[in-house]
Each structure stands twice: as C-alpha cells, then as structure tokens.
Amino acid sequence: MPADLDVVFVLDARFEGGVSTAVAAELKALCNDTTLRIGLLLVKAHLLGVAWPVHPAIRRFITEGRVTLLRPGDDWTCQLALIHHPVTFENLPRSALPLRAERALLILHHPMFDGAGLRQYDLDSVAANIVATLTDDLLIAPVSPVVRKSLRHHRPRFGRIADEDWVNLLDLTEWPFDPGRAPPHPDHIVIGRHARPDPLKWPEDRAQAFAAHLADDPAVEVRILGGGAFLTTLYGPSLPANWVQLPFDPEGVPEFLGGLDFFVFYHSTAWLEAFGRNILEALACGIVTILPPAFAQTFGPAAVYADAADVRATIDHFVADPQAWLAQRRKARMWAQVHHAAGLAHERLNTYGLRRNTVPPPRPARRRQPVLFLSTNGIGVGHLTQQMAIADRLPADLQPVFASMSLSLDVAHKAGYPVFYLPHHKHLKADPDRWNTVFAEELFDLIRHLQPVMLAYDGTAVFGGLANVLGEFPDLMTLWVRRALWRDVHQPFLDHANLFTAVIEPGELAGELDHGPTRAERPFVHVTDPVLHIDPVARMPRAEARAHYGLHDGQVAVALQLGSGANYELQDLRRAVVECLLGDPAVHILEIVSPLAPMPDALTGAEGRMTQLREYPSFRFSRALDAAVGVAGYNSFHEQVLGGIPTLFVPNEAPEMDSQLTRAHWAEVNGLGLCLRARHAAGALTRQVNRLLDARFRAACCQRMALLPAANGAREIADFVADYSAMIRTDRWPKDAYPR
Amino acid sequence: MSLPPFADMFRFGRGADDADVADGTVSIIGPRDRAMFVLMLDVASGEALPAVKKLMARFPRHRVVFVHTKLDFRPFIEAHAIFERLPSLDEIARFADLLDWPTYLADRQALLFAKWRPDRVIRYGPDLEEYAARVAAVCAGARNAS
C-alpha cells in the first residue's frame, strides 16, 4: 500500500547550530517539489534542557504549511524517515511513535568518539531504539569522512552503514559569490571566522590561537562572529587589539562572510568537528579558507591547509599573488556547487529508493487534540486574556480547553472555548491546605479524562496541589507562562519551575527596570516579545470605533479603566479623576467596567458626558480613544503603550500584585505615558490629568510610542505550544521514568 | 507551603471508595462543619437566582454550596455565596467529542460530594440523576449526528 508521506524528517529541531540549518536547507530544496509529501516529526531529546523554541528556519515550513507536522497519537506511514543526529533516539521514546517508516536513515552529525577519545553515544543502543519503534530497515550515514572514521570500523548490531556520506547541502543563492571582488590590500587584510560561542571551537593553546588568528598584526583585521567573554577566560584578559568580536548571529552570516578576504577556523584538540557547516558556508561564498590539515578529508582542494603557525605565511602567499587568490576563490565556490548544492537533495533521496508520484490512501479527519490552559484566580481577566492570546493563535488541529479559578471564566466561553471552573480557596472560604488536597483531585480528574497533549499554566503561584499533579504526569508536556516584575514575596514559587517542561516569560517593555526574583532566571527561560491578545493593527478603524461608542467630532474620548477593585480601592480617586477630566468641556469619558466589578454609581455632574459599559475585549475599539486613565496590569499596560494610547497609569500597588509601579514609572520617564500613584501623589492629580489632556503632550507621546517594535509574543508562544505538544519525548532516562 | 502527604492524594483517580469519603480525607470542610447543596442545574436564571440570598439566610448553620451550570457568576459573587459549577448541556453538546462526559461528570459529582460532604441537598430543576440522564442523551444525540 502506498505510504501516507514520502519523506519525514525526524529531529530535535530546537538546536541553533549546524544540524538545524542543514535540515532547513534540505527542506527548502525538497519543498520546492510540490508533488513530494514531506512530514516533520519533532523529538525532544535529552541534550537540551532549556526551553528553546524550534529553530526559526525550520519553523517557517510549519507556519507556511509546507510540511505535515506529525503529532503523538497520529498514525502515519512514510517511505523514508531521515533521523538527524543520534541524540534523537538515545532513549526509547516515552510514547508510541505516530509513524512507521519503510526505511529510515540515521544521519550521524556527530563523531562517535570526540578528539579526546571519549565515546559520545552508543550507536547500537540508538539503532536498537529506532528498529524497535520506527522501521525494520535502518541505514546509518555519517555526514563526513571524519564521522565515518570515528566509527572505527564498528559493525552495528542493528542496521548497516551506508556507502555514501550524507553531506550538508546549502542553497547557493543564499551564499553569494562576488567574482569581481578586489584582492586583499597588503595594508588591510580582513580575515574572519564564525562559530557558536564555545571554547571548544577555539584552540586551547593561546600561542596557537594567536598565531592562527594573526594576533596584533596592524595590517590585519580579525573579525570574530560568535565572540564572547569565554575568550578572555580562555586566553586571559588582554586579547589582541586587532580582534573585533561580534555576537553570534546565525541570520547575519552571509553579510559577515561578504566582508572577508580569508576565512580561518582552528579549534580545540578536544573537539572533533563532524563536518563544519560554517566552513562550507565560507567556501560557498568563494572565500579563501585556511584550515588545519585534518579537514582535508572533508573539503579536499576547496580549502587550503596549514598548521596554525603557518597561517601567516599562507596568507602572505595569497596576498602577494592575487591570481592564486582568485583561483582559490573559484575552486571553493565550484566545490560547493558540485558537492553541496541543495539541488542534490532530490537525487539523494532517489538513491535511497524513494518512489515518486504514488497516491496515498485517504486519511480519516484528525481529532482536535486538547491543550489544557490552566490559570489561577487573579483579580480580573488578566490570566485568561494572556491565555486567549495564545489559544486564538493555535493551529486548527489543537483544541484549547480552559480550566480556571477565575471568576471571569465566561470570557473564554464567549470566545468559543470549552471551560471548567475549579474554584480557588478564597472563593470557597476554605483552608488552603485542605483545598490543595481537593484541588489536586479535581485537576487530576480533569487531566485523566481529557488526556491533553499539553498543560499550559498561567499564574505566579504554583500551588502545592498543582505541583503534586504535575508529578503524577511526568510525561505530559507542561508549560509555565509566568510574567516578570515579581515581588520578593513570590520568590518561593520559583522552586517549582523545574516541575514544568518549559517556562516562558512574556516580554516586559519595562523589563530592564525589573530587579525582582525572576531576573536571575532569564537565562533558563524563554523570554518573548510582549504578549497582546489583539494585535494593534487588527483593531477597528478609528471612525468605525468612534461610531461604535457614539462619539462626535471634536470630542476628546478618554477611557477610564480602574480594574475590578477587588484588592485595591480606587473609588475616591475615580471620583477625583472624573471631576478633573470633566473640567475640559471637550472630554467624553468612557468608563469601561471590569467583568467582575459591580457597575459603579453614575457621578453627579457627569450626565451626558460619561458612558459606562462592560466590554471585553475593549482594546478592539481603542482606536476611538484620545487618551486613557487606567491601572498598569500587564495586559492593559502593553495594550495602551503598544496601541499608541496616551495613558495616565494608576498602578495597583497591592502587595500580592506584580510591580505595576515599575511599568507606570518606566512609561513616564520614557515619555510614553504618565504615572499617578493613588496614595502617594494626591497633589499631582490635577497636573497629571491636565498634561494628559494637553494635545501637544499626547502628540509627542504618540510619536514615541509609534517607534516601539510592533512584534507580538503571543504568536511565538502559540508556535511554541503547537511544537512542544507535537514532540515525542526521548528526554527522560528509563531509570527515572518508572516507580521503584 | 505545606503539601499533603502524597499517599493521601488521588484516591479518586485510583478508585475512591466510601471509606475515603467517610473519613474526610478528600474534603474541604472541617469535621464539625455542615454543608448543603442547592442544585441549580440547567435552569433559567430568573427561576433560581433570586433565591440565593434567601437560602443563605434560611440555613445559617450550613455552608450553602450552590451547584449550578451558569457562567455569569456575578449573582453569586454579589451574594457572597459559595458555588461550584458543572458544564451546561449546551456546552456538552457543542464539545461532545472533548471527553466522555457521562463518565467525567459521574466522577465530578462524586468528588463534589466528598469535597463538601453535604448533609442536605435541595434543588431547583433537575436533580443530579436527571441531569446525568440529560447529559447522556445529549452525548448520544451528538454521536448519532456525527
């Protein structure tokens, strides 16, 4: 029977290095053939513990719908599975694979032994796991002669070693070659190298490193893409004056290479470079490339080989002989064209027996797999709004389900999602310890019936009951989306971070002023752009929005949004603000009342000039506004600032809240809004309201707000949920996976 | 934060029995507290909600727990009432494939009784048995329609 898919790529696509870029290049070449049915099976392998997203160059193919993303529970067949990197199957998968392959190719992107002779993986064990779960027909292909040699004539117990190496390919159009480039000038020679910032990618010997990279030669500029503090750790505090360090930037490599006369790459003796994609990229751009002799087996005549001490002489030779330099450039480019052009991807598949133009059998419709969005109570709609920002952007094959302690749960229901109410102990007037026991039972029950593919939690407090339930489902993908700007009182909850598969911190415009407990955690979590439920550009046009509110030309529309008042009393301030605003005869106030709050009393004197309404999400209509007065909760703050609405922020300073004061203060000092502390700045009320009503101030404020980046982290988190919920886990060691 | 002993947890997930309920392990109220349920399942708001405050006043020695299917919680919040919510029949019909509703609701009801140990149950509209029957009918209808 014909297979459902022709080729399926199987890999941990979160790595930022050469494996991901090699796969992206292959995908690009293959996806140009629309008759080819390509799948992607994501694996969460054990090597990468931090919550990195899928590499953007691979993610693009999912977003554009050019590959079929396989999910746990699916049932697919394919002709050929390409398993990239042995780490992918170092452990047995934690669930049955959603794929059966007629043949699989395990591509060894890493030597079996490193430069120091240490074993890097157990090939027999990896192959056994693949044969047990994916295919009966396994081939093993090294990516280079270096990797092949590292196998030391090993005869695998499962599968057989392929005759050909599975070399890296690249799209030559992305690596431009300039045939007219002027030869290097003897007084200003530019050499460069790029690699991820890792000490192993540099010679451990200082003298060798300095010789290979022409230290302190005034005629030579050495550009290092992927420098960092590790270099001073390695070689001491005084690095050569002619070394120009640049941060690692995979996106900027072609431009970087375009400025070089020579490329050099020398690394630690402890490191065995499996292939050297960075070298291939330099060769593709036609750069004269100087390497240690060990690379000759991989790159042949495309590069020039010299010991570190001889790099200077090699460069001198080419500088003195521009024709030789030009001939070597052409040789490099030609090598890339003949051996590594992306167009070879098709041909290579054919040699592994791929049949073309087969007609797959019809497939039953996929069941939408549940993603459980769990949130704490909060005081308003903040947690639910954050989660709906993500849920609204999930692919159609996932079904968001909301389980919340929030009294505003109705907003998720009205948005079309199934909802479950799990009351918080405060709402039940219950003892927290007893409640935790019951809450754990309730959540456990929901999970065991619902069988979600992921649990995404939004809240600062990780309750004991939740922690215990997470322990009961260790294979479930779990995500903690927690905001920054914590108070010290929240610190103990960070101890629960390792209960989750991943932690995401939605970006904060005022993040640099955040010195709370979460700041030190940033290297271990994934920080996104600020998250907005509705993209500012998706709001209703101004004229339509003003008509929606019944506003007339000339009226200055000011929104008043002081939250639910559940934990911070602002009623006196409300009265004073309204009186102050109404001092301007052009002002019309739109008081937008929280879904939870009782409708406030209408104020005497405000008749006809103040409209009270419940509206969610009110941001959709916010282009109608000229200004706003409101609290500085995460959602409203970022909506106002990124939505270009000049706002007088009144921070809710209740001790259990995040630091709204930080946000409001940041906005004021950056000219992006105003701040009024309800209890500390009574005397400033009139002045601040008058500034808000000053048209020149608002125009300047809008101008500055328009310069802020428009990215919305909600899309990124939705992609993260979609990808992680599709991943097969091989990251858990069997010894930790079963009760003992 | 003190966590309950692990062994005491998830009795329902592992098959709770009457003993678990009787010994109060999975309960939110103390041994001397009394609770009662007021069922307002699948009834129109106008029929039942005016009774919330009256019932709380009428049973001052009980913790009155309103078990309802509404999503507008404001009447209960304004009355400072304790409440639990079960999914409405409309939601169940709309998301009939989401899970095995009859089984989930049977477990949910059992858990609610263990949680509160009510010594009295009164109702506006269907009782739990009747509600379960309606749920089963909704699910069967959805299955047939698909």
Percent over 70 (pLDDT), chain A: 99
Of B3, B11, B103, the CB nearest to A449: B103
Per CB-CB distance under 8 Å, the chain A contacts of B12 are 441, 444-445
Q: What is the mean pLDDT of residues A359-371?
A: 87
Place of tokens 């992306």: A342
Top pLDDT among A264 and A565 is at: A264
Residues A228, A137, single domain; the answer is no
Whether residue A392 is found in the same domain as residue A294: no
C-beta atoms of A444 and B10 within 8 A: yes
**End-to-end CA gap in chain B:** 48
**Is residue B106 over pLDDT 80?**
yes
Task: Report residue A242's pLDDT band, with 50, 70 and 90 as the boundaries.
Answer: very high
Nearest CA in chain B to A599: B74
The total of structural domains in chain A comes to 4
Q: How many domains is chain B partitioned into structurally?
A: 1
A188 and A81 fall within a common domain:
no
In a domain, B75, yes or no: yes
Please state the φ and ψ torsions of residue A272, each to the nearest 5 degrees: -115, 110
**DSSP conformation letters of A343-377:** THHHHHHHHTT---SPPPPP-PPPPPEEEEEEE--
Distance between CA atoms of residues B78 and A492, nearest Å: 33
Asked if residue A6 lies in contact with residue A31, where contact means CB atoms within 8 angstroms, the answer is: no
Distance (Å, rounded) from C-alpha B58 to C-alpha A341? 83
CATH number at residue A574: 3.40.50.2000
pLDDT category, B30, cuts 50, 70, 90?
Answer: confident
Mean pLDDT of B28-56: 88
pLDDT greater than 80 at residue A588: yes
In the beta sheet, which residues pair with residue A77? A100
Q: Do both A282 and A142 map to the same domain?
A: no
* Rounded Cα–Cα distance for residues A475 and A472 (Å): 9
Cα(A386)–Cα(A718) distance, integer angstroms: 11
**Confidence band, pLDDT 50/70/90 cuts, at residue A739:** confident
A353: left (phi over 0), alpha (psi -120 to 50) or beta: left
Taking residues A341-361, report their average pLDDT.
Answer: 89
pLDDT at B8 over 60: no
Q: Which two tokens stand for residue A25?
A: 């290049």
Q: Do residues A89 and A195 both lie within one domain?
A: no
Position with higher pLDDT, A480 vs B4:
A480
Look at B13 and A420 and tell me if their CB atoms are within 8 Å. Answer: no
Average pLDDT over residues A207-236: 95
* Domain extent for B24: 6-145
Same domain? For A197 and A273 the reply is: yes
Q: Do A442 and B111 touch (CB under 8 A)?
A: yes
Shortest distance between the Cα of B74 and any Cα of chain A, in A, equals 7
Mean pLDDT (chain A) is 94
Residue A330's pLDDT is what?
A: 97
Residue with tokens 């019944």: A550
Which residues on A lie below 8 Å from B56 (Cβ)? none
> What residues in A contact B107, CB-CB < 8 Å?
445, 449
B87 touches chain A (CB under 8 A): yes
Taking the CA of residue A446 and the nearest CA in chain B, the distance in Å comes to: 8
What percentage of chain A exceeds 90 in pLDDT? 84
Does A350 map to a domain?
Answer: no
At residue A91, the pLDDT reads 96
pLDDT tens profile A427-452:
999 999 999 999 999 999 999 999 99
Confidence category of residue A314, pLDDT binned at 50, 70, 90: very high
Assigned domain for A37 exists: yes
Residues A432 and A460 in one domain: yes
| A497 exposure class (CB count in 10 Å sphere: 0-12, 13-18, 19+) | middle
**Residue B117, Ramachandran bin (φ over 0: left; ψ between -120 and 50: alpha; else beta):** left
What is the CATH classification number for the domain harbouring B57?
3.40.50
SS3 B100: coil
pLDDT more than 90, % of chain B = 63
A728 located within any domain: no
Other C-beta atoms lying within 10 Å of the C-beta of residue A607: 8
Mean pLDDT for A63-70 is: 96
Q: Which residues of B touch A429 (CB under 8 A)?
A: 63, 82
Spatial distance between the Cα atoms of A10 and A129, rounded to a whole number of angstroms: 14
Residue range A299-307: mean pLDDT, rounded: 97
Burial class for B96, CB neighbours closer than 10 Å (0-12, 13-18, 19+): middle
Contact A468 B8 (CB under 8 A): no
On whether the CB atoms of residues A177 and A144 are closer than 8 A, the answer is no
> Which of A169, A188, A218 is the C-terminal boundary of a domain?
A169
Say yes or no: A265 and A247 in one domain: yes
Q: Please identify, among A137, A169, A201, the residue that sits at the C-terminal boundary of a domain.
A: A169
pLDDT for the residue A598: 79
In a domain, A587, yes or no: yes
The reported pTM is 0.92
Nearby residues of A259 by Cβ (< 8 Å), 6 or more positions away? A190, A192, A223
Find the mean pLDDT for residues A365-386: 90
User: In terms of DSSP bridges, do strands A454-458 and A369-375 run parallel, antiparallel, or are they unpaired?
Assistant: parallel
Name the residue range of residue A53's domain.
5-169
In a domain, A736, yes or no: no
Q: Does residue B1 belong to any structural domain of this protein?
A: no
Residue A198 CA from chain centroid, whole number = 21
Which residues in chain B are contacts of A376 at CB distance < 8 A? none
What is the per-residue pLDDT across A520-567, written as a single tens digit (0 to 9) for each? 999 999 999 999 999 999 999 999 999 999 999 999 999 999 876 666
Rounded to whole angstroms, the Cα distance separating A380 from A402 reads 16
Give pLDDT tens digits for A668-718.
999 999 999 988 877 899 999 999 999 999 999 999 999 999 889 999 999
CB A558 within 8 A of CB A627: yes
User: Is B3 within 8 Å of A596 when comparing Cβ atoms?
Assistant: no
Classify residue B13: in a domain, yes or no: yes
Contacts of B9 in chain A (CB under 8 A): 437, 440-441, 444, 468
Give the mutation candidate from A402, A421, A453 for the B interface (greatest B CB count, under 10 A). A421
Size of interface A-B (CB pairs under 8 A): 105
Q: Where is mean pLDDT largest: A354-363, A597-606, B29-38, B129-138?
A: B129-138
Q: pLDDT value at position A564?
A: 63
The domain boundary residue, chosen from A527, A550, A566: A527
For residues B83-112, give the mean pLDDT. 96
Mean pLDDT of B79-107: 96
Residues in A lying within 8 Å of B, measured between beta carbons: 367-368, 370, 399, 401, 407, 409-410, 413, 418-421, 423, 427-431, 433-438, 440-442, 444-446, 448-451, 463-464, 467-468, 472, 492, 596, 598
Mean pLDDT within B20-26? 62
